[in-house]
Amino acid sequence: MKKVKLFEQFVNENNATKEEFDNVVKALKGLKSSVTVIFVPKWNEIEILTGDDRDNRIVDEVIKMLDKAKIKNGGGSNISVSADSSSYSRKEYDAIEKINGGH
């Protein structure tokens, strides 16, 4: 029984919040590239989508801006940067922000 509780604690320790989503959007407002930011509470995630033809320079720019704003990304956090998302395609998000037109 303890293993289940420990697992549940691990799964729930990085719940994404609307406030974190708002902070990510605010941090990325000065981005030169186009991205879409979605808040997906179902998976406890904030996803930053760069598009299928993404350039690593976009990812680097996103990561630098999040670091500058002192927002943790990657390494087990609840923020991911990817080309696309099934949550986006299925409209399984609670909030969306398209920066510079979106991905």
Put simply, whether the predicted model's pTM sits higher than 0.85 gets the answer no
What single string gives the DSSP state of each residue in 10-36? HHHTT---HHHHHHHHHHHTT-SS-EE
Domain of residue 41, residue span: 15-99
Flag whether 60 is in a domain: yes
Under DSSP, is residue 80 helix (H, G, I), strand (E, B) or coil? strand
Flag whether 53 is in a domain: yes
How far apart are the C-alpha atoms of 8 and 42, rounded to whole Å? Answer: 15
Flag whether 75 is in a domain: yes
pLDDT tens across 57-99, in order? 899 999 999 999 998 765 556 999 999 999 999 999 999 999 9
Under DSSP, is residue 97 helix (H, G, I), strand (E, B) or coil? strand
Flag whether 61 is in a domain: yes
The single residue listed with the structure tokens 């398209």 is 98
pLDDT tens across 12-33, in order? 456 789 999 999 999 999 999 9
